[in-house]
Amino acid sequence: MWMHIGIKDIIDILLVAFVLYQTYKLMKSSGSIALFSGVVSFILVWILMSRVLEMRLIGAILEQIVGIGFFVLVVLFQDEIRRFLLALGSHRGWKFISRLFSRKTETDNEQKFVAPVVLACMNMARKKTGALIVIQQDVVLTVYEHTGEMFNADVNARLIENIFFKNSPLHDGAMIIADNKIKAAGCILPVAQNADLPKDLGLRHRSGLGMSMETDAIVIIVSEERGKISVAHMGKLCTNISAEALQQILSKEKVVSDFC
């Protein structure tokens, strides 16, 4: 006999499918897809044994494991959970709602840094000068700013190039830009441990990707060896980005995934 399925049941199924799909994408990008598949397989076995076949003994054992396993999953997938919450919190719909209650005007949000950053990246790529530039979004980066030298300077292409000049004491670290100001330089960023990254990508690319996994910042990487521009955002790294594409990403006309 078929059970009655209402609108709420359909919405429930769609929500579960959406969450599973988003979780799958996060696990795939972080290289944890095998672990995710194992967890899903275990849950299916648990449902089959305890709910469908009604095996009480093994069902009770599996239920105890599931109860403890929740805390284990939080530890195992803490990076993925953080990224999921960041993706949820930075969704355009939520941003639109937050703007309704914000007193900032459009002129306050003008992205004056875009042109000088793009120009500086073009020049540094041509000269094969390595650079790592972090553009703050919704997540405040104060913790990372204090790992380097603090600034409060207007964004200027020549200043950016001078900071990343190979003889500069700050050239090895990252620059952080927030609120149209250079807030810090020579900063230390978290390094991604993703084994799927190509071997020719160095520490700058791994640091840029790691920062994009920990926060919602847009990270620009200029390769010293290849003279190419890469951009990392929300755990996704796109290499060989053109100046036009970089301008569109920073102006939020397009997202990083559009160029991958």
Residues 40-90 pLDDT 10s? 777 777 777 777 777 777 777 777 776 676 677 666 666 666 656 655 555
- The DSSP symbol for 106 reads G
- The mean pLDDT value of the chain amounts to 79
What token pair was written down for 42? 């275990």
- Percentage of residues of the chain with pLDDT beyond 70: 75
Residue 181: partners with Cβ closer than 8 Å, 6 or more residues away? 151, 152, 153, 154, 155
Helix, strand or coil for residue 108?
Answer: helix
Residue 175 above 90 pLDDT? yes
Read off the pLDDT of each residue in 139-164 and give the average, rounded to a whole number: 91
| pLDDT for the residue numbered 259 | 75
3-state secondary structure of 184: strand
Length of the chain: 260
Average pLDDT, integer, range 214-238: 91
**Rounded (5°) CA angle 204-149-219:** 35
CB-based burial label for 4 (10 Å; 0-12, 13-18, 19+): exposed
pLDDT at position 108 is 43
Residue corresponding to tokens 């672990």: 35
**Could you give phi then psi for residue 194, rounded to 5 degrees?**
-70, 115
Above 50 in pLDDT, residue 21?
Answer: yes
What pLDDT sits at residue 97? Answer: 46
Provide, for the chain, the percentages of residues in helix, strand and coil under a 3-state DSSP scheme, each rounded to the nearest 5: 55, 15, 35
What lies within 8 Å, CB to CB, of 247 at 6+ separation is 114, 115, 118
Given a contact cutoff of 8 angstroms between Cβ atoms, the answer to whether 133 and 170 are in contact is: no
By C-alpha distance, which of 138, 23, 37, 36 is closest to 81? 23
- Residue 117: which of 174, 153, 157 has the closest Cα? 157
| Region 139-154 average pLDDT | 89
